[in-house]
């Protein structure tokens, strides 16, 4: 994949996915706070005089982003712009659109762009391009199996020792996912909190998986291993649906916290040696 560069200085990436649902149903999933929160990240729109003026996305502690809504065409497209992700970087703009394509399906298209006179910031777009496909696959699962339902989430970002490959082998083995193929059912072994369902997506490069859950309740689990600033991390998140989801999250969160602490204790920094 590559960044598209235009004479105006606009640099952009474009991603799209075909999903089931009417334009109204798909719009609900990509243009409302509860909809975005059910497959992407916790989101909240500020409404003024009946129209959205800003949207806040919560990517995790210290990673909240508030964007001004710059365009709003219900059932068709909306756009927003926020300051750059790091000091000195140009503003980032996002455009979301829905296009009916017949047969009860729609195309969701996301264009992310910035304006710059050099290539210095292209890595930001390339990083986003790397992350979007997993979320769009989650959107398709959501609209296929849980359309219109609100979610309650629980998520972990856990530093681990070793390489990404070693972390992936360790966590998939621990969860009973080793050798699993798309479409197969699985259940985690003894010693793991309730965790079972059907594999929807599994890859090793990048290392990620999307799992449709029976336990701990109806929902989606996303699992990944990646390197962040030289530290190997495991990302693990649940979107749970239904009237019991909030109670399930309250019950399961401490169980998973204890499991991670036991199975993947915090890596210790190497001791420094001083010579005198």
* pLDDT per position as a tens digit, 123-176: 666 666 667 889 999 999 999 999 999 999 999 999 999 999 999 999 999 999
Q: Please tell me the predicted confidence (pLDDT) of residue 214.
A: 97
Instruction: Examine the pLDDT at 270 and tell me if it is beyond 80.
Output: no
Question: Which of these, 67, 142, 77, 138, lies nearest to 109 by C-alpha position?
Answer: 77
pLDDT digits (tens, 9 = 90+) for 68-107: 999 999 999 999 998 866 667 788 899 999 999 989 999 9
Residues in contact with 155: Cβ distance below 8 Å, sequence separation at least 6, in sequence order:
60, 235, 236, 237, 238
Among 3.40.50.300, 3.30.530.20, 3.10.105.10, 3.30.70.100, what is the CATH number of 4-145? 3.30.530.20
- pLDDT band at 110, cuts 50/70/90? very high
Instruction: Examine the pLDDT at 267 and tell me if it is beyond 80.
Output: no
Q: Please tell me the predicted confidence (pLDDT) of residue 10.
A: 77
Q: Please tell me the predicted confidence (pLDDT) of residue 165.
A: 95
3-state secondary structure of 242: coil
Backbone torsion region of residue 251, taken as left when φ is above 0, otherwise alpha when ψ lies between -120 and 50, otherwise beta: alpha
For the residues 248-268, what does the mean pLDDT come to? 93
Q: Please tell me the predicted confidence (pLDDT) of residue 205.
A: 80
Q: Please tell me the predicted confidence (pLDDT) of residue 120.
A: 67
For the residues 38-43, what does the mean pLDDT come to? 96
Share of the chain above pLDDT 90, in %: 74
Q: Please tell me the predicted confidence (pLDDT) of residue 118.
A: 66
Who has greater pLDDT, 130 or 272? 130
pTM of the predicted model, to two decimals? 0.90
Q: Please tell me the predicted confidence (pLDDT) of residue 36.
A: 97
Q: Please tell me the predicted confidence (pLDDT) of residue 190.
A: 95
CATH 3.30.530.20 domain span(s) along the chain: 4-145, 151-263
At the fourth CATH level, the homologous superfamily of domain 151-263 is START domain (3.30.530.20)
Q: What are the residues facing 95 on neighbouring strands?
A: 79, 111
- pLDDT band at 275, cuts 50/70/90? very low
Residue with tokens 């390197």: 227
Distance CA 69, CA 93 (A): 10
Residue with tokens 């339902």: 149
Q: Please tell me the predicted confidence (pLDDT) of residue 203.
A: 93
Most confident of 29-38, 90-99, 204-213: 29-38
Axis crossing angle, helix 122-145 with helix 23-30, rounded to the nearest 10: 130
Q: Considering the chain, what is the average pLDDT of its residues? A: 90
């Amino acid at each position: 994949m590559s960044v598209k560069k235009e004479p105006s200085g606009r640099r952009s990436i474009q991603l799209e996915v075909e999903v089931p649902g009417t334009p109204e149903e798909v719009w609900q999933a990509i243009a409302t706070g509860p909809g975005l929160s059910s497959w992407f990240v916790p989101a909240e729109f500020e409404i003024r005089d009946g129209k959205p003026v800003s949207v806040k996305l919560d990517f995790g502690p210290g990673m909240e982003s508030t964007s001004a809504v710059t365009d709003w065409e219900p059932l068709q497209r909306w756009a927003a712009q926020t300051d750059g992700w790091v000091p000195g970087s140009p503003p980032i703009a996002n455009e979301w659109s829905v296009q009916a394509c017949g047969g009860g399906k729609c195309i969701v298209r996301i264009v992310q762009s910035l304006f710059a006179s050099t290539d210095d910031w292209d890595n930001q777009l390339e990083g986003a391009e790397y992350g979007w496909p997993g979320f769009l696959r989650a959107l398709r699962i959501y609209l296929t199996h849980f359309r219109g339902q609100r979610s309650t989430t629980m998520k972990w970002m856990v530093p681990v020792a070793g390489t990404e490959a070693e972390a992936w082998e360790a966590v998939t083995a621990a969860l009973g996912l080793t050798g699993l193929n798309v479409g197969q059912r699985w259940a985690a072994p003894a010693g793991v909190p309730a965790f079972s369902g059907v594999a929807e997506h599994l890859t090793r490069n990048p290392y990620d998986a999307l799992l449709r859950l029976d336990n701990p309740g109806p929902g989606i689990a996303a699992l990944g291993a990646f390197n962040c600033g030289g530290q190997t991390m495991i990302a693990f998140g649940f979107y749970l649906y239904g009237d019991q989801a909030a109670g399930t999250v309250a019950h399961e969160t401490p169980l998973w916290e204890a499991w991670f602490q036991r199975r993947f204790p915090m890596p210790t920094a190497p001791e420094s040696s001083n010579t005198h």
